[in-house]
């Protein structure tokens, strides 16, 4: 690296600060957290993608595909259920959430069920989101330290403080539009890495001939994936369906984007766009990982740079060793962008949930100006807590990152079950719903502790099924049918059946296309041009 690379990085960070300043005029809390429902669907779609495709994805996905033992294109199985999950989100969950006018999706649960239900689900979200984001920032700091030589503390502070400041100033508008820019930078960075890697290898033919055929296998058809702690088609389809439906609709970080849309029509557009665009980006991650992995396995001196226990250093060291100055700065900006998009989204969504929870317990600001000030101060508070978590996360390994994913799988199924009960089951009660949630969550934790052979993606479906079954059964045993105390949520307008059929058919066919493209990689000759 030289001065030009550092100049690129400094210019980018400064631009983010200016960006936050330009969007710093908000009138009230609704403007700060939802942009007064005036943000277009396409930037929201890009923001939704950027929030999930974090720095860990930029670093770990290619490393998993290209270098990790037992890795390869199994990573693509994560995408199988995404388009199908969008159907449940756009036609069942988001319409009543959007029409209710809530800022925090957990406020919807209090209106439909009760305050204690809201408390349980909200608290679970805040703990998991803050912890997971802190780990992501920690990993990014380690990478920057190793590649740039910048001390860990300084790299963490540079990323966190600038992200917190533009989130503090600009609210959801700054977060969304910054995410959109960062998503473009991520894609550009991946394309630069891919074409550079193929050039280093000696062309497309050399690239495909150098791939270990075992890494092209997407699904192992020798088992169904029912009891094996491995990737398989069935758990990724069924478990993935629940995981992604819950993530996009019942996680404040993602749902807040949909709530910021101008209309339900725009929500459907952004969700369809996300369903269609995620797979090409994920495929780009994977192909880039294959290419860089070929370089690593064929070059002992380069391989020696990568710690045996930390294959995640594959991409950063490739950037440092094989890319020209200036481009190195651009690629590190892409990695930082991925981290900053996730951090900014977490800060904004956590502050939104906290301030709405405070209102639920009777803590209100005197006027709109004070409420806006509270929102900004809470953004600073959560940013500081996430920074604290990142500084004291300890040694991070692939096992820890997997554990974070397991936490999500243990929680997301029961959470989705609660929202479905709130929307679809009129006999719901506070007691039955809370009991269902705890039953689903506790069973998943038991499976985690005592049934390690069961693939953790199944926990999503199991948690959903148990939560709904227990909640429905207990509510049926109740004589009364109490609804939420005194709040009526607007009913959802019916969507034309022809539109539902068209979208459902289209996304189902797209899902099939994803699976077929993935399986095509297993036919090695398919790629002999």
3-state secondary structure 319-364: HHHHCCCCHHHHHHHHHHHHHHHHHHHHHHHHHHHHHHHHHHCCCC
Tell me the C-alpha distance between 38 and 449, whole Å: 46
Lookup: tokens for 197: 């890697």
At residue 493, the pLDDT reads 56
Domains contained in the chain, CATH given: 3-213+232-523 (1.20.1730.10)
How far apart CA 502 and CA 141 sit, in angstroms, is 45
Query: Would the pTM count as exceeding 0.75?
Result: yes
Q: Helices 105-112 and 115-148: crossing angle, nearest 10°? A: 160
Q: Given this model, what pLDDT does residue 4 score?
A: 76
DSSP code at position 260:
T
193, 52 contact by CB (below 8 A) = no
pLDDT score recorded for residue 167:
74
Angle (CA) 149-320-337 rounded to 5° is 80
pLDDT value, residue 494? 61
Contact residues for 67 (Cβ-Cβ < 8 A; gap 6+): 289, 292, 293, 296, 297, 306, 311, 314
pLDDT of 204-226, one tens digit each?
889 988 998 888 888 766 666 66
User: Tens digit of pLDDT for each residue in 391-437?
Assistant: 765 544 444 456 567 778 889 999 999 999 999 998 899 999 999 99
The pLDDT assigned to 436 comes to: 95
Q: Which residues of the chain have pLDDT under 70?
A: 1-2, 24, 26-30, 54-56, 147-148, 220-230, 338, 365-366, 392-404, 479-498, 519, 521-529
CA distance 178 to 342: 11
Residue 506, helix vs strand vs coil: helix
Per-residue model confidence (pLDDT) at position 73: 87
Instruction: Provide CB contacts within 8 A for 70, sequence distance 6+.
Output: none
């Amino acid at each position: 690296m030289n001065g030009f690379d550092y100049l690129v990085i400094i210019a980018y960070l400064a631009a983010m600060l200016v960006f936050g300043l330009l969007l710093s005029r908000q009138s009230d809390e609704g403007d700060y957290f939802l942009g007064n429902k005036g943000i277009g669907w396409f930037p929201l779609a890009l923001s939704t993608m950027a929030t999930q495709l974090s720095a860990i994805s930029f670093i770990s996905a290619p490393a998993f595909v290209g270098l990790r033992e037992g890795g390869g294109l199994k990573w693509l199985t994560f995408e199988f259920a995404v388009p199908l999950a969008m159907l449940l989100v756009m036609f069942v969950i988001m319409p009543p959430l959007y029409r209710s006018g809530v800022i925090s999706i957990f406020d919807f649960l209090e209106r439909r069920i009760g305050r204690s239900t809201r408390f349980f689900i909200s608290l679970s979200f805040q703990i998991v989101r803050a912890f997971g984001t802190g780990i992501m920032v920690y990993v990014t700091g380690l990478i920057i330290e190793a590649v740039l030589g910048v001390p860990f503390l300084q790299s963490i502070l540079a990323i966190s403080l600038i992200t917190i400041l533009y989130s503090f100033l600009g609210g959801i508008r700054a977060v969304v539009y910054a995410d959109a820019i960062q998503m473009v930078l991520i894609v550009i960075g991946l394309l630069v890495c891919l074409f550079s890697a193929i050039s280093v290898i000696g062309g497309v033919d050399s690239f495909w001939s150098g791939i270990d055929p075992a890494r092209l296998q997407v699904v192992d058809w020798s088992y169904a994936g029912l009891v094996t702690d491995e990737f398989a088609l069935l758990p990724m389809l069924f478990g993935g369906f629940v995981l992604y439906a819950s993530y996009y609709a019942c996680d404040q970080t993602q749902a807040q984007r949909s709530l910021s849309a101008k209309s339900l029509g725009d929500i459907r557009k952004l969700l369809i766009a996300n369903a269609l665009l995620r797979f090409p980006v994920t495929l780009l991650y994977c192909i880039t990982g294959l290419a860089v992995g070929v370089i690593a396995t064929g070059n002992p001196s380069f391989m020696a740079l990568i710690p045996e226990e930390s294959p995640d250093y594959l991409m950063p060291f490739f950037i440092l060793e094989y890319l020209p100055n200036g481009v190195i700065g651009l690629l590190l900006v892409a990695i930082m962008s991925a981290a900053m998009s996730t951090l900014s989204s977490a800060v904004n969504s956590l502050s939104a949930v906290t301030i709405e929870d405070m209102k639920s317990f009777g803590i209100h600001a005197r006027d709109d100006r004070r409420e806006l000030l509270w929102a900004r101060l809470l953004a600073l508070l959560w940013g500081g807590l996430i920074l604290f978590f990142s500084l004291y996360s300890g040694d991070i390994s692939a096992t820890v990152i997997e554990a974070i994913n397991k936490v999500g799988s243990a929680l997301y199924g029961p959470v989705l079950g609660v929202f479905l009960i709130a929307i679809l089951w009129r006999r719901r009660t506070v007691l039955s719903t809370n009991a269902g949630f705890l039953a689903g969550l506790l069973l998943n934790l038991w499976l985690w502790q005592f049934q390690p052979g069961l693939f953790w993606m199944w926990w999503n479906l199991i948690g959903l099924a148990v939560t709904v079954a227990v909640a429905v059964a207990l509510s049926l045993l109740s004589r009364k049918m109490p609804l939420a105390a005194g709040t009526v949520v607007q009913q959802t307008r019916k969507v034309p059946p022809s539109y539902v059929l068209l979208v459902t058919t289209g996304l189902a066919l797209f899902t099939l296309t994803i699976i077929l493209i993935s399986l095509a990689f297993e036919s090695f000759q398919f790629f002999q041009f």
